[in-house]
Amino acid sequence: MTPMREKTRVMDADDVRRALRRIAHEIVERQRDPTRLALVGIRTRGVHLAARLADAIGMIEGVRPPTGTLDITHYRDDRQPPGAVAQATAVVQTSVVPLAIAGKHVVLVDDVLFTGRTVRAAMDALIDQGRPSSIQLAVLIDRGHRELPIRPDYIGKNVPTSTRERVTVRLTELDGRDEVVIEEPAS
């Protein structure tokens, strides 16, 4: 793997907090009935962002929506061994969606939207858990470069990048601080 160096800090802790608060308000505006809402975070950082959004929605509405964790590893179409055939009946082994999602308005939550392949895999994994009324997407960062026709419903920040750059999201729960940085190859 090519060594990377920090190029630009695009969000600090306050920016992350404000973006999540704004997204929570946008979700509440669109989803009038918080009892039919569920937030499902895509492992790893999406899980923590979903929990923060649920807390913020709980503060706004007085009802905290349930959250779940989705591991989409077995649903990825771009991480198969060479020559392997993707399994249409893959089973998610580390997902924790402790709520019945049938009939719910589900907001998938992830840290960075790039090609769209993670979100496509997440939708497949989610639908294997039940049939929600709707699926929406909330991301902290939309960096562009889509390979699939996927668009987020809620965006913390649009960050134009080159394909050589990497967007790194750090969260207090995992990294000891909140920030988003763009990294570029060191050489």
The pTM of the full predicted model, rounded to 2 decimals, is 0.90
- The pLDDT score that the predictor gives to residue 79 is 62
- 8 A C-beta contact, residue 69 and residue 97: yes
In a domain, 83, yes or no: no
- The pLDDT score that the predictor gives to residue 60 is 97
Q: Which residues of 14-30 are buried (b: 16+ CB within 10 A; e: fewer)?
A: ebbeebbeebbeebbee
In a domain, 21, yes or no: yes
In tens digits, the chain (187 residues) has pLDDT values of: 789 999 999 999 999 999 999 999 999 999 989 899 999 999 999 999 999 999 999 999 999 999 999 999 989 876 655 455 444 444 444 567 657 899 999 999 999 999 999 999 999 999 998 999 999 999 999 999 999 999 999 999 999 999 999 999 999 999 999 999 999 999 8
List the domain range (segments joined by +) for residue 136.
Answer: 4-78+89-185
In a domain, 55, yes or no: yes
In a domain, 57, yes or no: yes
In a domain, 159, yes or no: yes
In a domain, 112, yes or no: yes
CATH of the domain at 27: 3.40.50.2020
In a domain, 84, yes or no: no
In a domain, 59, yes or no: yes
Domain count, the chain: 1
Average pLDDT taken over every residue of the chain: 91
Q: Rounded to the nearest 5 degrees, what angle is found at the Cα of 170, between the Cα atoms of 140 and 153?
A: 10
- The pLDDT score that the predictor gives to residue 154 is 98
